[in-house]
Amino acid sequence: MAKIKKIIIFGGTGFIGYHLCKKALKNKFKVLSISKNPPLMKRRLNKINYINMDATKIRSFKKISRDCDIIINAAGYGSHLRGKKGKALYNDHILIIKNIIKYFNGKNIKKIIQIGSSSEYAKYNSRINENFKTRPISYYGKAKLRITKLLQNEYSKKKLPITIFRIFQAYGPKQDENRLIPYVIKNLKKKRDVYLTNGKQIRDFCFIDDLINAIFLSINNKNTNGLVINLGSGRKIKVDQIVKKIFKIIKKGKLIFNARKFHHGEHKIILPNISKAKKLLKWKPKISLENGLKRTIKERLHT
């Protein structure tokens, strides 16, 4: 009988973490989720071992067995905070990954996967390759880039089997309502006005299932060790176009453009080149934007 593989998912109660846990269960892993707080009811899964602890404190790691095969780090709040809160966010992200490296020290680990961000890159008006310059503006982006460099250094010195995925605009069921698509769905569903920017930002929105499938394809793929890999849909769309698609499905509420300013440091164009992911992982996104939106809206309308 084959040994059941063990996987630890830091940040397993978040949006991406929830879907990582769900996929791990489907793939017959024994799953341990590490997070500071317990999961929301909508993200609680049966057969997951949830441990609540502060991963910025190395002493908290005594709650975890070092006996595991795979580690995925999706921990840390994905927010572009500024000032003292931004610095605290930066420090927390760095402490978590340093503690993971220190505690497990490469023991029996077959793969460490880091969930990075498009925020690590500099501003570009074209599709971004993994070798493009990094020049993050936010503390969140700076933290993600620092983690990338720390992990690449561990790979260079100790051949620690790491892979870093830079995610571009994930969406899907169970996402927090402070993100664009669930924010629009929530308010239209309640027949409210939806206040937006001019909506001319160009983005690549990728359905969560496609992203998760790519991540799991890397687990047994040694060719991805030490690499940074972009993940997205490969399709571009303006923000005003995607919210109009949502409105066309729900047919309630009202969209009000030019009612908000851009976020601090927000780039007008954020698009990935995903050719490396396609080549190395033999992967391609399968869920169309229309189908992904319908699935996301259907889940929201029944909660």
Report the alpha-carbon distance of residue 227 to residue 248 in Å, rounded: 40
Q: Binning pLDDT at 50, 70 and 90, where does residue 171 land? A: very high
Q: Binning pLDDT at 50, 70 and 90, where does residue 1 land? A: very low
Tell me the average pLDDT across 133-154: 95
Six token digits for residue 155: 């790979």
Q: Binning pLDDT at 50, 70 and 90, where does residue 79 land? A: low
Q: What is the pTM of this model?
A: 0.95
Contacts of 121 (CB under 8 A, 6+ apart): 128, 132, 133, 134, 135, 136, 166
Report the alpha-carbon distance of residue 105 to residue 92 in Å, rounded: 20
Cβ–Cβ < 8 Å for 293, 287: no
Helix runs in 33-133, H state only: 83-104
Please give the distance of CA 273 from its chain centroid, rounded to a whole number: 17
Report the alpha-carbon distance of residue 23 to residue 115 in Å, rounded: 15
Report the alpha-carbon distance of residue 62 to residue 232 in Å, rounded: 36
| In the block, residue with structure tokens 């996402």 | 175
Report the alpha-carbon distance of residue 200 to residue 147 in Å, rounded: 31
Which domains are present in the chain?
6-169+206-231 (3.40.50.720), 172-204+235-269+287-301 (3.90.25.10)
H/E element holding 6? strand 6-10
Q: Of 69-78, 154-163, 192-201, which gets the smallest average pLDDT?
A: 69-78
Compare 263 and 59 and report the one with higher pLDDT: 59
